[in-house]
Structure 1
Amino acid sequence: MQPVRCALEEVLMAALKLNSLTVGIYESAKMLNVDPDRVVLCLLAADPEHEDDVALKIHFTLIKAFCCNNDINIVQVSGLKRLSEIISGQTEPRSEPNDLHCILVSETFADSWKCLSLEEISNFCAECRSKNQWVPLISLLER
């Protein structure tokens, strides 16, 4: 699991530098509606304290269905604090936290930087699907 976790962090940091991330549930839904063919990876992020958030579960269900229908790799991610550190460089909680529950990586990133890390994540997703695990989980560890 460690190599896939590191690969995910590399993909996020590189895509962020190339402005190839769409961050937020509503922003991601707009992107998926306008140009789903540009999306190469969808991350759905939640921690255990979000387990009872019905609205979030509904959003996740709709996004998962859409991504499956459009052959977009999906990964569920836990570790919102570490995700926030990667995406915004913030180690301290903000008064208005970013909506990091859904993050899309676009093909601009994939075209600009032929990334072995992205290929590793795609292979991981394919392997999980072959085992009937349609949305694999990757836990990001705090540093």
Structure 2
Amino acid sequence: MTLEEVVGCNITDKKMETVSQALEELLAAAQRQDCLTVGVYESAKLMNVDPDSVVLCVLATDEEDEDDIALQIHFTLIQAFCCDNDINILRVSGIKRLAEVLCEPTTTDSNANEPKDLHCILVTNPQCQPFKCPALQEVGSYCKESRCKNQWVPYLSLQER
């Protein structure tokens, strides 16, 4: 490995870590402001009714979801819709970490509520004023940089803490 490759890997790793933290901050802030839509079907309904309010679409999977054909078809359709409507889109792994960030249960038992479908999460603008958050700008610029590199759907891995 050359010095350029080592330095390049370190810069990329730090950028991914920064964007991951920004995404977590953004999701927490959006949840506090009631600007999150969680779930594949709920997200599809919102995008059909009011696509202009959506500022970011997060598609989350883990290894066990890779063989779920129905989920992959939904993702393909959502990605196409987001590209057609100029909505930033981000694929992430780490549903367990997403659940921690959003304070959602991750397992079902007889006493717990059914966990929400965290495979698709939309961040929307509030009705009265645009959603302003430095984390949104950080994630948005990462998405834009990725598109400039012909990576239309950037990928992040959320790390458990």
Task: Check whether TM > 0.5.
Answer: yes
Q: Which amino acid aligns with 1:134?
A: W
Gaps of 5+ in 1: none
Aligned pair 1:142/2:157, yes or no?
A: no
Q: Distance in 1 between matches of 2:86 and 2:21?
A: 23
Question: Hey, what's the Cα distance between the residues in 1 that align with 2:54 and 2:64?
Answer: 28
Distance 1:112 1:11 in 2: 14
In structure 2, the partner of 1:83 is 98
Matched, 1:4 2:19: yes
TM-score, with structure 2 as normaliser: 0.83
Name the counterpart of 1:36: 51
Report how far residue 89 of structure 1 moved: 4.5
* CA RMSD, 1 decimal: 1.4
Percentage of identical aligned residues: 60
* TM superposition score normalised by structure 1: 0.93
Q: Is the radius of gyration larger for structure 1 or structure 2?
A: 2
**Bigger relative CO (Cα 8 Å, ≥ 6 apart):** 1
Contact 2:93 2:156 in 1 (8 A): yes
Shift in Å, 1:114: 1.9
Instruction: Kindly indicate whether residue 108 of structure 2 is the aligned counterpart of residue 94 of structure 1.
Output: yes
Alignment length (residue pairs): 141
- Secondary structure (helix, strand or coil) at the match of 2:159 reads coil
Whole-angstrom CA distance in 2 between matches of 1:82 and 1:65: 26
- How far did 1:86 drift? 1.2
